[in-house]
Amino acid sequence: MQIGVFAKTFPGSEPAGVLAAVRDAGFAVTQFNLACAGLPSMPDAVPEDAIHAISAASNACGVALVALSGTYNMAHPDSAMRDDGLRRLGVVIKAAASLSVPLVTLCTGTRNADDQWAYHPDNADPGAWDDMAGEMEKALQLAERHGVDLGIEPEQANIVTSASDATRLIAEIGSKRLRIVLDPANLFEQASPAEPRDIVAAAVERTAGHIAMAHA
């Protein structure tokens, strides 16, 4: 196991400066965000000079890029918004492949049209699951084309809320490129002091073999 950090933890929009800060904090791996290269996190395009700058900074600092953030609302109630997000995800996936980043991280979205991190009661509607799963299948076609894996994170506010939801989605879609990013803090909202250990242990056991990365 390698211990890494979010590149976006550190301020800056120049990859050399951000990755130097990652290195100086004692980390050799990072989850990168295109905002650290002066671009939107989900851009319309990634210029070749940006790819070269990120790659050069990674090599110079000795910090490996192990994941790239590619989050959009995969269950947005407006299909046009989902289409735009998927288009931008394609840009991120292509950038990840150019940078030899093996994993692009996602969220499974919410019916909340204003905030992709906020719960909505319609998240439990079967149609929300169907929209998200259809979006995921399209995303995986892009990922397969570029040889990149996709990592989903179970979160209480999203469509996939639990380890069981995540493994259900993987089983339904049947792609080995769909992986899990496990963040124990997002597996529950309230728990007694004794409960979190059992919740997390059960999640790890259930998702064994599918976890690409864990957050802490």
What's residue 193's pLDDT?
84
21 Cβ contact list (under 8 Å, min separation 6):
10, 12
Q: Where does the pLDDT of residue 75 fall: very low under 50, low under 70, confident under 90, or very high at 90 and above?
A: very high
Strands (E) across 45-183 are located at 64-69, 103-106, 149-152, 178-182
Element (H, E) at 6: strand 5-6
CA-angle at 73, arms to 172 and 51, nearest 5°: 100
Listed residue (187, 186, 183) closest to 214, CA to CA: 183
Q: Which of 6-10, 42-46, 93-97, 198-202 has the lowest mean pLDDT?
A: 198-202
Query: Residue 36 and residue 67: Cα distance in Å, rounded?
Result: 13
Q: What does the pLDDT look like over 20-66, one tens digit per residue? A: 999 999 999 999 999 999 999 999 999 999 999 999 999 999 999 99
Query: Residue 67 and residue 151: Cα distance in Å, rounded?
Result: 9
